[in-house]
């Protein structure tokens, strides 16, 4: 028998593609501007190439800096642990 894959998106692609089809990502969703200190929500959308990990879906984060076309965001994972991610602007929404 073959073994089931346990990759990053195993069993999650239906949840990721349900509300955000790749064809629905227009220009306005790909070009967003955020300032330092803005609060944003991490929502993975349609593009599996540069997507943040699905465990951060719906998390609220704070923009720390801009790095290239992406933003460095900082979020609290538990009460005492901060996590820093580099997320493209298409996967961020303003809170």
pLDDT digits (tens, 9 = 90+) for 11-48: 766 665 555 555 566 777 777 899 999 999 998 876 66
Residue that wins the pLDDT comparison between 16 and 83 = 83
Residue that wins the pLDDT comparison between 36 and 8 = 36
> Which of 38, 22, 39 has its CA nearest to residue 30?
22
Whether the predicted pLDDT of 75 surpasses 80 = yes
The class of domain 13-94 in CATH terms is mainly beta
- The per-residue pLDDT for 18 is 55
Tokens of 88: 């493209």
Average pLDDT of the residues in 55-75 = 93
Tokens of 77: 């994972």
Strand order in the sheet with 92-94: 82-88, 70-76, 60-67, 39-42, 92-94
User: E strand or H helix at 14, and its extent?
Assistant: helix 13-17
Q: What ranges do the domains of the chain cover?
A: 13-94
- The backbone torsions φ and ψ at residue 83, rounded to the nearest 5 degrees and listed phi first, read -125, 135
- The per-residue pLDDT for 30 is 74
């Amino acid at each position: 028998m073959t073994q089931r894959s346990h990759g990053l998106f195993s069993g999650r692609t239906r949840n990721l593609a349900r509300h955000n089809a790749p064809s629905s990502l227009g220009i306005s969703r790909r070009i967003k501007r955020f300032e330092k200190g803005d609060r944003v929500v991490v929502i993975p959308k349609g593009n599996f190439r540069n997507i943040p990990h699905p465990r951060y879906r719906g998390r609220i984060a704070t923009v720390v800096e801009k790095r290239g076309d992406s933003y460095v965001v900082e979020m609290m994972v538990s009460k005492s642990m901060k996590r820093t991610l580099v997320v493209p602007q298409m996967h961020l929404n303003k809170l």
